[in-house]
Structure 1
Amino acid sequence: MTQVHSEPVSFNCDGHLLRGTLSRVEAPRLLVLINGATGVPASFYLPFARWLAEEKHAAVLTWDYRDFGASGSPYRSDTTMTEWVTRDPVAARAWLRAQVPDVPLWVIGHSLGGMALAFQPDTDTIDRIITVASGHGHITDHPWPFQARVWALWYLLGPVATWLLGYFPARRFGLGNDLPKGVFWQWRRWLLARGALPADRRLGGLRDPGYRGPITLVAMEDDVMIPPRCVWKMAGWHPNAQIERRLLVPADHGLAAIGHVHPFSARNSAVWPSLIA
């Protein structure tokens, strides 16, 4: 059995110290960067990362965005989604590439982590992109009754709580770890605007000509946050890529549910081979 070593690491981006974990085997033949979802700390992805390092004989980096998780506190932060989309993942990719030069690089992006890739420079250095539960969504794309919950969240509960506290108490709403206020407000605008991320001028627009390599768009049949039809729409963000669409059905893997966050959960490890196939 291949032995996997995991060690804490850190790297700098714009004066912010970003922290994560590098899980690797000796003499890795592949690099994998995992860009997480909004509100999901890097520690959540560690079991998957260790499995992937062994499975693909790889070095796998899990890491946290600035002022979130192990990379700092959200409570007095001015950070926005713009930094999480256009700055931090680029720094993480450069740091990982420097650790083991001259081997292929994959990027696996979960939700925000996958959507962000269309707005980043130098993606031509990536050999393969896999996005999981990432898509072009609007508040009306959520199925009922979940849609009723998000109307209340984005128009009432979230704004009031963020104004009062100075940060978004995501944990109280079952949306992962607490978030900087600027992250909440920008996230909210994306979900309430038909144009979503491509319409946000602060992201600099979709990169042109953009990524030209292979992209696998993975959707979960039971994902109420980013339903499959929203995942498929993201193909339009990458007009020059080679797109593969992959739908994961819980019953096909002997599972009752997968959902938006839990494709990477250890309890759903039965789907992991399908994520990277």
Structure 2
Amino acid sequence: MNVHAGIGYEDQWFYSGGQKLRGRFFGTYTRPRAVAVLHGATGVPQRYYAKFARWLAEARNIACLTYDYRDFASSARGSMKTSTATMADWGVHDQQAARDHVRSLVEEVPLWVIGHSLGGMMLPFQKDLDQIDRVIAIASGPAHVTGHPYPYKVYAAAYWYAVGPPATYLAGYMPGKRLGFGNDIPAGVFWQWRRWCTTRGFFVGDIGTQLPMPDWNGVKAPVKVVAIKDDALIPPKSVWGLMDYYRGADKTQMVVDPDAYDLDGIGHIAPFAEVNRAIWADLIA
């Protein structure tokens, strides 16, 4: 195990079906207060969450596993053009594999699921939901292209209709880096993500085909749903739509206002950025 700033971490490899995923485990295997799996947002590599995971282990004695979805970032193998990955693969199979893996590492402490964006939405499609002791979903919810505030609504429409489709056809994957739309992602992830975000009902059309049947009442553990006030991608109204995904849980809601922490802004991606660490204790409180 390596040590960084007093906190041990260890690189991990585990399988999701036949796909080998790379993760990193922060903290101790012996007697942490809890163990968490951190499911990241679409197109956000696990390295972005490292400082939050270290803080979680050091300041709260909660061990944490971060990881990258298949065919992305440190889990990428070969050309992204050959990837067959879909959003369902990331959100159902890879998230399930990561949760199973962290439970195998630390067995006799409470299991937390911390989800950012996509990371907080897909639990109803997974198994063994009774083994989860707490869920914290941050900036997560069913977004629709018409539900963003201006001017982000124009940006989103351009991404889904004008720029993203032809770029993905031509490149064989979504070339986000070249276009200024974040990181590159596999074509199958982009197309399914696009369908969900431009369809009323979000992923309802894929249930029973690309998605298994959900268990909306399966999570019985407490669920904390956190919205970021200045999040234009998944604004608070969209975040509250997540509440219906956890019908059997005791749910609480929180809105994080940057002004309350003397921050210039947070937005969708930056809740886990070190510059915004002032909000971290409240995210998990």
* TM-score, length basis structure 1: 0.96
SS in 2 for 1:87: helix
Distance 1:20 1:200 in 2: 28
Distance 1:176 1:66 in 2: 17
Q: Which runs of 5+ in 1 are unaligned?
A: none
Candidates 16, 37, 42, aligned match of 1:38: 42
Which residue of structure 1 lines up, in the alignment, with residue 71 of structure 2?
A: 67
Which ranges of 4 or more aligned residues in structure 1 deviate by more than 4 Å? none
- Amino acid in the other structure paired with 1:43: R
Candidates 92, 103, 109, aligned match of 2:115: 109
Per the TM alignment, residue 119 of structure 1 is displaced from its structure 2 partner at its CA by 1.7
Per the TM alignment, residue 208 of structure 1 is displaced from its structure 2 partner at its CA by 4.4
Per the TM alignment, residue 75 of structure 1 is displaced from its structure 2 partner at its CA by 3.0
What does residue range 48-127 of structure 1 map to in structure 2 within 5 Å? 48-73=52-77, 74-127=80-133
Aligned: 1:235 with 2:239:
no
1:97-142 CA deviation, whole Å, 9 max, x = no partner? 0111111010100000001122211121110000000012111100
SS in 1 for 2:81: coil
Distance 1:149 1:91 in 2: 34
Distance 2:133 2:269 in 1: 25
Which residue of structure 2 lines up, in the alignment, with residue 24 of structure 1?
A: 27
Contact 1:66 1:88 survives alignment (8 Å): yes
What does residue range 132-143 of structure 1 map to in structure 2 within 5 Å? 132-143=138-149
Superposition RMSD on alpha carbons, in Å?
1.3
Contact 1:85 1:203 survives alignment (8 Å): no
Structure 1 149/254 Cα, relative in aligned 2: closer, same or farther at 3 Å? same
Contact 2:125 2:215 survives alignment (8 Å): yes
More deviation in 133-142 or 116-125? 116-125
Distance 2:74 2:33 in 1: 28
* TM-score, length basis structure 2: 0.94
Contact 1:3 1:25 survives alignment (8 Å): no
Identity rate, percent: 46
- Amino acid in the other structure paired with 1:50: R
- Amino acid in the other structure paired with 1:251: D
Contact 1:206 1:237 survives alignment (8 Å): no
Per the TM alignment, residue 25 of structure 1 is displaced from its structure 2 partner at its CA by 3.0
Per the TM alignment, residue 85 of structure 1 is displaced from its structure 2 partner at its CA by 1.3
Aligned residues: 276
Aligned: 1:251 with 2:249:
no
- Amino acid in the other structure paired with 1:249: D
More deviation in 6-15 or 34-43? 6-15
1:197-235 CA deviation, whole Å, 9 max, x = no partner? 233222124214321110000000000000001111110
Per the TM alignment, residue 26 of structure 1 is displaced from its structure 2 partner at its CA by 5.8
More deviation in 56-65 or 25-34? 25-34
1:7-45 CA deviation, whole Å, 9 max, x = no partner? 211101111110011111362231010000000000000
Q: Which runs of 5+ in 2 are unaligned?
A: none
- Amino acid in the other structure paired with 2:222: P
Distance 1:127 1:247 in 2: 22
Distance 2:156 2:35 in 1: 37
SS in 1 for 2:15: strand
Contact 1:39 1:175 survives alignment (8 Å): no
